[in-house]
Amino acid sequence: MLLGIHLTLLIGPTVAVPAPAPLTEALQSVRISAGDDGPSGFQITFQTGRGGPLGVVDYPLLGNPLLRPFNRVILIATFNATPRVLLDGIITDHQFAPGDEPGQATMTITGEDVSVMMDREEKSAEHPAQDETIIALKIIAAYATFGLIPRVIPPLAPDPPIPIERVPVQQGTDLAYLRQMARRHGYVFYVTPGPAPFSNTAYWGPPVRVGLPQPALSVNLEGATNVEKIDFRFNALGPTTVAGRVQDRNLNEALPVQTFASLRPPLASQPAWLVHAADIRDTQLREPGLTVTQAFARAQGLTDAASDAVEAVGELDAVRYNGVLAAGALVGLRGVGYSYDGFWYVKRVVHTIKKESYKQQFTLTREGVGSTTPVVLP
């Protein structure tokens, strides 16, 4: 499709297979949105006409069984012989625009990643004697037919329920319940495609702020530049601490609960919660019926989730970047200056692919300004 980049489209009702040549030739554009705050979505647009014997009755593409709702779609980008799964999703609807001139009609299929199949049935279910880690593993395992590989990180303060005291009860879909449990600890839940086709990683845990970063985003570095534009925003009202009192149901006493700082690994040398500690917004914990351990875990989760005060929004050229920037991981940034260079967490990436270009719009976050490292990996 582009020099050094090849796209492979797999599509089908139960097992996705390579799309036939007429379908791949009609492919006009692809848009994929991936992040840690919700399901990944996609739109694939095909250009169509009414040529051939079938065109007498209708546009042939409209009757193509491969494009029906609930078919599976897998898209693979190969950069210099290295394949990368961009999308593994389910078609949920399609739009058709006849166009003003012959051959200018378009059909767009829209859908979400395979986690959409976890959001189709509301349930009332009990999970006796199972903590949130076990519940998350059990729910994810029920969708093994979609290639889900669980990656579940236990909370810092596990709270296994004693059946004679309480039983965790699910009211809602599996996807909604997984996210509800994640929010209690400042965690996230999302599904990423790959690493191999027909497999997906279901991640339930804190935002990934450790490990080997992705290839660096480079700004104003002449031939090494791969970022076309980038803007930064510092939100001083974002960081939050939590205070309150909880009536511990086991001790039958009112005990204080207070958080002071995020416990996430720092990415900035001057975190806002530290530099502006005297001005940070303090919120009240209002969740009755908790033990003091549960209350501290909920309060710390709220503080961790609100810790990222700085956001960077930009766009890169995938050809110059020579790869795919993945959401839910670290990346290095260089060429901007000490305040904004260093490591960042990739919160969201939007891929826009056309025959003549491949752009990636990205959103990065961290807790403050100032790099924690003198250099980043190129």
Pairing relation of β-strands 310-317 and 227-234? antiparallel
Phi-psi region of 124 (alpha: psi -120 to 50; beta: other; left: phi over 0): beta
For the record, the structure tokens of 330 come out as 């670290």
**pLDDT > 90? residue 197:** yes
The answer to whether position 377 is within a domain reads no
pLDDT score for 347 = 97
For the record, the structure tokens of 51 come out as 């040529």
Pairing relation of β-strands 281-284 and 240-248? parallel
Confidence of residue 57 (pLDDT cuts 50, 70, 90): low
- The verdict on 146 and 44 lying in the same domain is no
What is the rounded distance in angstroms from the CA atom of residue 194 to the CA atom of residue 324? 13
Q: What is the CATH number of the domain that holds 137?
A: 3.55.50
The answer to whether position 131 is within a domain reads yes
pLDDT tens per residue, range 225-243: 999 999 999 998 889 999 9
Distances (CA, A) of 144 to 42, 113, 150, 301: 22, 14, 9, 29
Confidence of residue 5 (pLDDT cuts 50, 70, 90): confident
The answer to whether position 138 is within a domain reads yes
Domain final residue pick, 117, 137, 168: 117
The answer to whether position 374 is within a domain reads no
pLDDT score for 36 = 92
- The verdict on 230 and 353 lying in the same domain is yes
Of 10, 22, 378, 82, which is closest to residue 221 (Cα–Cα)?
Answer: 378
Q: Which residues are CB-contacts of 377 (< 8 A; sequence separation ≥ 6)? A: 213, 215, 216, 332
- Coil, strand or helix: which one is 192? strand
* Residue type at 287 in one-letter notation: E
- The verdict on 129 and 201 lying in the same domain is yes
For the record, the structure tokens of 273 come out as 């919660």
The answer to whether position 36 is within a domain reads yes
- Coil, strand or helix: which one is 377? coil
- Coil, strand or helix: which one is 112? strand
The answer to whether position 85 is within a domain reads yes
- The verdict on 188 and 228 lying in the same domain is no
**pLDDT > 90? residue 79:** no
The answer to whether position 378 is within a domain reads no
Contact 199, 91 (CB under 8 A): no
- The verdict on 300 and 287 lying in the same domain is yes
- The verdict on 127 and 108 lying in the same domain is no
Contact 73, 11 (CB under 8 A): yes
Q: Which residues are CB-contacts of 166 (< 8 A; sequence separation ≥ 6)? A: none
pLDDT score for 52 = 55
Domain final residue pick, 305, 320, 335: 305
More confident position, 359 or 81: 359
Residue given tokens 């039958």 in the structure block: 252
- The verdict on 266 and 200 lying in the same domain is no
Confidence of residue 313 (pLDDT cuts 50, 70, 90): very high
The answer to whether position 375 is within a domain reads no
What is the rounded distance in angstroms from the CA atom of residue 46 to the CA atom of residue 48? 6
* Number of domains the chain contains: 4
Residue 319 sits in which domain range? 214-234+309-369
pLDDT score for 341 = 97
What is the rounded distance in angstroms from the CA atom of residue 318 to the CA atom of residue 314? 13
pTM: 0.92
Domain final residue pick, 186, 205, 224: 205
Whole-number average pLDDT of the chain: 91
What is the rounded distance in angstroms from the CA atom of residue 30 to the CA atom of residue 19? 15
pLDDT score for 1 = 54
